[in-house]
């Protein structure tokens, strides 16, 4: 083997060659893009008889584009469109170069994902004669910071139209309707308001029926039957019809074309598996799209309604509060609500009691295991999430057969069914193995929150950490160390209990107290406690969890009544196993990581002597916080016994 010095010398010699290779590769890609753009500009000038239509907006672009293409195909027979939701410039280049002189139309969906000025390149490539703006919502709000900024970017499409072009605008959206002042040509408006030129009336969409509406245009009035799910698609239907009218398509012919067009995959698209009806709205999930999907579920007629929520995007403010608000709204509609993903545990704060069928699963694999036991024929299930982050489609695939890919970080924007990794084993193992259970209107026992007696007195103080001796003085072990300090102060002895767990029993402030150091990895803490709770006096509702917190400043101590996992795997494991966030926590801040050090390395790296001194002080403070929480529990129990519920609640932390 080569020595360390020789290895470094070889790397130093070849480093310039690696750099040169990367530079040449980037240069080649850059030149390729430029040449493809130049070729596209030239080809576009040759397509003088093809009508180019640009479609943009915050929501509904893909469906609008597909509906327009269906209408034009029925009248003009031949044309092109960008497939699926492929709306990057390189995707447009492929469609444009595939468009021939014989094609009567080319419909292009244009996205504003590139940020301010990002529409300039697509518009230069397409040179649209018709521009359709669906709406201005919260999609890309994080990027633009305001809806007005989003509207300004979308308005580039209208300003790019030629004088003899047509702007097709949503009259119900003030930000879209204001764009008419930026165009001197023909404007065709659509919407529900009286001043809309193409107007919808008598809109209805009550599952299992699909969307129907009456459309008025000048002196004509026709009924439009669609295969779409949800009344919120009415403006999208109107936008497509308005485009057809602008290009001379007879209204009756356009409505016939719409009736034959199926919903696009992942956009409120219905699918039935084993008698269970699924509504897939799992392609994108900006916050503004949640309410329309919930309105559809509220109006729907079904034996049971289940709502599954993945990652919600494009909102401002506290993410935990947003998820709690969404959970409350979902619980008002559905018999069972599931949240999936890294923020799922935050939703548990919406629980009003253990009877609320609200569950949080950090792993989609565990959610799939639960649903396989819970769902039955006649159920209506809404899947609402972001495909890139969640891939909720895997829940459906798992119900139908073998699925091996449970990754949470692939980030691929393609259907899971067409993915080559679908049957390649990857991702986290299941936190629990599902067992066949009787399916009824109550939730399966293997994940149902436990019910505890109110007269239980023992408080369990659980320190999270690692049992390996060489990890004793690391950030991930401060929970262990705090309990060791507590036992030492009170002279309690450690004994070996269930599953090699170390236990120290004693009494504080007149209440039995049990200190617990679990001898298992962080992600197995929850299942171990759950197994321990069966047939014992352990209650997570009468527990105090002591753990490290990377979000807190170093050596700062904070007590908390309830909440999400904050990214801590041990807390996440407890939340998933008990599906309840009603347990106390004492958190010790360890947030002093060098940004160049990987997180996994930092939490398992011993403290420096200076840090160790600070942490010892913090652990002493944490012991006092535990005593304060026990004192509050005693006061709350005393008030409750005396019938003063209001005073009892005031004894709890907020």
Q: Please, is 635 exposed, middle or buried when counting C-beta atoms within 10 Å of its C-beta (0-12, 13-18, 19+)?
A: middle
- Running DSSP on this structure, what letter comes out for residue 400? H
CB-based contacts of 470: which residues, under 8 Å, 6+ apart?
none
Measured CA to CA, the distance from residue 344 to residue 492 in angstroms comes to 38
Verify cis geometry, omega within 30 degrees of 0, for the bond prior to 171: no
Give the pair of three-digit tokens for residue 200: 């919808």
Region for 5 from its dihedrals, namely left if φ exceeds 0, alpha if ψ lies in -120 to 50, beta otherwise? alpha
User: Strands of 304-309's sheet, edge to edge?
Assistant: 269-273, 276-281, 379-384, 304-309, 336-340, 358-361
Per-residue burial over 214-233, b = 16 or more CB atoms within 10 Å of its CB, e = otherwise: ebebeeeeeebebebbbbbb
Give the pair of three-digit tokens for residue 524: 């197995």
Measured CA to CA, the distance from residue 352 to residue 333 in angstroms comes to 15
Q: Please, is 640 exposed, middle or buried when counting C-beta atoms within 10 Å of its C-beta (0-12, 13-18, 19+)?
A: middle
CB-based contacts of 403: which residues, under 8 Å, 6+ apart?
368, 394, 397, 422, 423
Give the pair of three-digit tokens for residue 577: 């196993």
- Other CB atoms within 10 Å distance of the CB of residue 620: 14
Q: Is 476 a catalytic residue?
A: yes
Q: Output phi, psi for 336, to 5 deg.
A: -150, 140
For every residue of 343-397, DSSP letters joined together read: TGGGGGGG-SSTTS-EEEESSHHHHHHHHHHH--TTEEEEEES-HHHH-THHHHH
List the catalytic residue out of 232, 391, 476, 542.
Answer: 476
Alpha helices in 493-608 (DSSP H): 525-533, 569-578, 599-602
**Residues noted as catalytic:** 476
């Amino acid at each position: 083997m080569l020595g360390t010095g020789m290895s470094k010398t070889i790397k130093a010699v070849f480093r310039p060659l690696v750099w040169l290779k990367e530079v040449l590769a980037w240069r080649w890609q850059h030149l390729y893009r430029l040449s493809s753009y130049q070729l596209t500009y030239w080809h576009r000038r040759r397509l003088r008889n093809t009508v180019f239509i640009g479609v943009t907006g915050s929501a509904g672009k893909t469906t609008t584009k597909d509906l327009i293409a269906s209408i034009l195909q029925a009248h003009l027979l031949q044309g092109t469109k960008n497939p699926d939701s492929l709306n990057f410039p390189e995707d447009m280049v492929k469609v444009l170069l595939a468009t021939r002189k014989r094609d009567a139309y080319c419909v292009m969906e244009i996205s504003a994902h590139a940020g301010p000025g990002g529409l300039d390149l697509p518009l230069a490539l397409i040179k649209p004669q018709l521009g359709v703006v669906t709406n201005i919502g919260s999609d890309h709000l994080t990027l633009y910071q305001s809806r007005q900024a989003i509207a300004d970017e979308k308005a580039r499409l209208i300003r790019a139209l030629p004088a003899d072009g047509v702007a097709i605008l949503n009259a119900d959206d003030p930000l879209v309707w204001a764009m008419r002042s930026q165009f001197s040509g023909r404007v065709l408006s659509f919407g529900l308001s009286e001043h809309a030129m193409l107007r919808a009336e008598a809109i209805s969409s009550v599952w299992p029926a699909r969307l129907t509406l009456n459309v008025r245009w000048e002196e004509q009035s026709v009924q439009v039957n669609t295969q779409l799910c949800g009344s919120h698609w009415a403006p999208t239907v109107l936008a497509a019809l308005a485009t057809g009218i602008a290009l001379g398509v007879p209204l009756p012919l356009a409505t016939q074309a719409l009736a034959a067009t199926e919903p696009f995959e992942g956009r409120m698209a219905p699918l039935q598996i084993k008698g269970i009806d699924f509504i897939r709205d799992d392609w994108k999930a900006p916050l503004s799209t949640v309410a329309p999907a919930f309105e559809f579920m509220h109006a729907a007629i079904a034996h049971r309604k289940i709502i599954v929520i993945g990652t919600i995007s494009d909102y401002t403010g506290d993410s935990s509060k947003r998820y709690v608000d969404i959970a409350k709204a979902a619980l008002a509609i559905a018999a069972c609500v599931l949240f999936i993903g890294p923020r799922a545990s935050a939703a548990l704060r919406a629980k009003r009691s253990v009877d609320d069928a609200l569950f949080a699963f950090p792993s989609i694999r565990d959610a799939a295991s639960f649903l396989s036991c819970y769902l039955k024929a006649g159920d209506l299930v809404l899947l609402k999430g972001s495909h890139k982050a969640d891939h909720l489609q895997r829940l459906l695939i798992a119900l139908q057969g073998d699925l091996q890919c449970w990754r949470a970080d692939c980030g691929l924007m393609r259907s899971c069914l067409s993915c080559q990794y679908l049957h390649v084993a990857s991702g986290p193992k299941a936190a629990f193995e599902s067992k066949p259970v009787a399916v009824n209107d109550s939730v399966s026992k293997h994940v149902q929150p436990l019910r505890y007696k109110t007269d239980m007195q023992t408080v369990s103080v659980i320190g999270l950490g690692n049992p390996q001796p060489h990890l004793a003085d690391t950030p991930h072990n401060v929970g262990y160390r705090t309990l060791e300090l507590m036992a030492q102060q009170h002279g309690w002895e450690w004994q070996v209990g269930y599953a090699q767990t170390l236990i120290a029993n004693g009494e504080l402030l007149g209440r039995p107290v049990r200190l617990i150091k679990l001898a298992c990895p962080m992600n197995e803490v929850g299942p171990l406690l759950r197994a321990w709770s069966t047939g014992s006096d352990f209650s997570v509702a009468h527990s105090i969890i002591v753990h490290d917190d990377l979000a807190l400043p170093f050596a700062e101590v904070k007590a908390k009544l309830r909440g999400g996992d904050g990214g801590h795997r041990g807390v996440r494991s407890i939340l998933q196993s008990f599906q309840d966030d009603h347990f106390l926590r004492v958190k010790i801040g360890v947030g002093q990581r060098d940004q160049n050090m990987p997180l996994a390395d930092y939490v398992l790296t011993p403290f420096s002597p200076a840090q160790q001194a600070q942490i010892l002080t913090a652990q002493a403070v944490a012991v006092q916080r535990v005593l304060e929480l026990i004192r509050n529990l005693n006061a709350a129990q005393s008030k409750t016994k005396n019938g003063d519920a209001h005073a009892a609640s005031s004894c709890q932390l907020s």
